[in-house]
Structure 1
Amino acid sequence: MNTQLEIECPMCLGTIIVDRETGKVLEHKEYKQEKQSLEDFLAKEKTRTADLDKKFAEAKEREKNRLSEIEKKFQAAKNNSDLKDPPPTIMWD
């Protein structure tokens, strides 16, 4: 039976070799990440910028819809001046 156990470190992605019997770390092998070319980096940054712009536009639209819903609720409450409890069809925030 092999007395060594190889585990991938979740923090650094390196390999940790542990003795099964004692639980001591025998060796740590560093994770070797391949170096990225400049062209790959620039292509990735272009798509990243486009993704961030898309996410920003979606968040802006959600906020716009949220504000219109709040305005509708406000107008409903304003028009019904004797309103003590909200009607069941309106969900108040």
Structure 2
Amino acid sequence: MVLTKCFFRRENLMASLLFCIVSYGLLSTWLYLVHSINEKVESTLPSSLLIRVLIIITALSFIIQKKPGVFKNFIAITFGLVLVFIHTIIVLLLLLNTF
């Protein structure tokens, strides 16, 4: 059985760190916005432990990844997260202002 060595690249560590900062920043901003309108967020997905565990797993998979170009993947994932976050806020503002 051949054991493969895991080499950590600086690019992977930087992408993982940036991903954690951006994801936790978006999550904290979302929870702050929900708390500011006095919503109960104990049972919602953004406040669950599952989201935090999945962010950590994603960051670890960034670090362990052997192929180059993880920073491009990070940019794509982060851009997608930011777009979903902005669209969700816009949709909720439109829905809340119509009633």
Higher helix share: 2
- Sort the TM-score into its range (normalised by shorter chain): 0.3 to 0.5
Q: Highest CA radius of gyration, 1 or 2?
A: 1
When you count strand as a share of all residues, which structure comes out higher? 1
